[in-house]
């Protein structure tokens, strides 16, 4: 059973702080890694994707990937109350037929003003 | 926003009845997915399709079947609904395999309650 693990939280940070979200995965064959944000009652929306070891920055968001350790993280700098949401880590699951995404259970982030 | 429409958006049904949820896309994407989301479990893959008439099981496929007779529609059927299938169901699509530089886009979800 391929798994993706996240701390469920809640993770609470003050406005302007850095929020650090972590994820580990079990399938060494995974090649693509995604972070989705989901507001309560809404559908998931993609905020970052990363495919190579190292860091990838997009505005206030930085994704970090370490395939040797099977670890991916998301840093949110200058956190805002509007960042309060559940963050889902997703990893591609490959087989002969095609590919799909396996998700972690999500980490709830709360940013206080 | 990606052109994905799920129908119905809300449904209440009785135990033992058949239920079909529809996902319709206007993006001509090859890959389509059905997920369910439950508190404490996150998003779990039910079935996915990698082309017309080509489908495969996900991690929680028991009690569900799917069909894809044309590119734009992916149907999820609960043959005999049970209370454990009460959930929010999300459809997702992607143009290519989820390997490099490809993302999955999600529909707005269907809230299904089985009483």
pLDDT tens for residues A5-25? 998 889 999 999 999 999 999
**pLDDT in the model for residue B30:** 93
B25 CB within 8 Å of a chain A CB: no
Which 33-72 residues of chain B touch chain A by CB within 8 A? 33, 35, 40-45, 48, 50, 54, 56, 58-59
The alpha carbon of residue A44 is apart from the nearest alpha carbon of chain B, in Å, by: 6
**Chain A residues near residue B41 by CB distance under 8 angstroms:** 105
pLDDT digit string, tens, across residues B58-94: 989 999 999 999 999 999 999 999 999 999 999 999 9
DSSP E strand boundaries for B1-115: 4-7, 10-13, 19-25, 31-38, 42-51, 54-57, 64-70, 73-78, 87-94, 105-106, 110-114
- Nearest chain A residue to B89 by CA distance is A43
Q: Please tell me the least confidently modeled range out of A28-32, A58-62, A81-85.
A: A28-32
CA separation for the pair B10, A106 (Å, rounded): 24
Question: Mean pLDDT across the stretch A37-43?
Answer: 95
Question: Over 90: is that where the pLDDT of A71 sits?
Answer: yes
Contact in structure between A33 and A65 (CB atoms under 8 Å)? yes
Q: Which residues pair with B112 in a beta bridge?
A: B11, B87
Mean pLDDT score of chain A? 92
């Amino acid at each position: 059973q391929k798994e993706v693990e996240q701390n469920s939280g809640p993770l609470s940070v003050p406005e302007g702080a850095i929020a650090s979200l972590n994820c580990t995965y079990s399938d060494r064959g995974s090649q693509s890694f995604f972070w989705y944000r989901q507001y309560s009652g809404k559908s998931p929306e993609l905020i970052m994707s990363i495919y190579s070891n190292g860091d990838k920055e997009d505005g206030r968001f930085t994704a970090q990937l370490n395939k040797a350790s099977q670890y991916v993280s998301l840093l949110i700098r200058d956190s805002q109350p509007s960042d309060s949401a559940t963050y889902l880590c997703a990893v591609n699951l490959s087989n002969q037929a095609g590919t799909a995404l396996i998700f972690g259970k999500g980490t709830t982030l709360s940013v206080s003003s | 926003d990606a052109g994905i429409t799920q129908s119905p958006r809300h449904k209440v049904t009785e135990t033992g009845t058949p239920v079909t949820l529809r996902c319709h896309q206007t993006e001509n994407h090859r890959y389509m997915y059905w997920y369910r989301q439950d508190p404490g479990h996150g998003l779990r893959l039910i079935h996915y399709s990698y082309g017309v008439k080509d489908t495969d099981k996900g991690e929680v496929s028991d009690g569900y079947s799917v069909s894809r007779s044309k590119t734009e529609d992916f149907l999820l059927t609960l043959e005999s609904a049970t209370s454990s299938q009460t959930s929010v169901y999300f459809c997702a699509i992607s143009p290519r395999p989820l390997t490099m530089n490809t993302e999955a886009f999600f529909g707005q979800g269907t809230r299904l309650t089985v009483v």
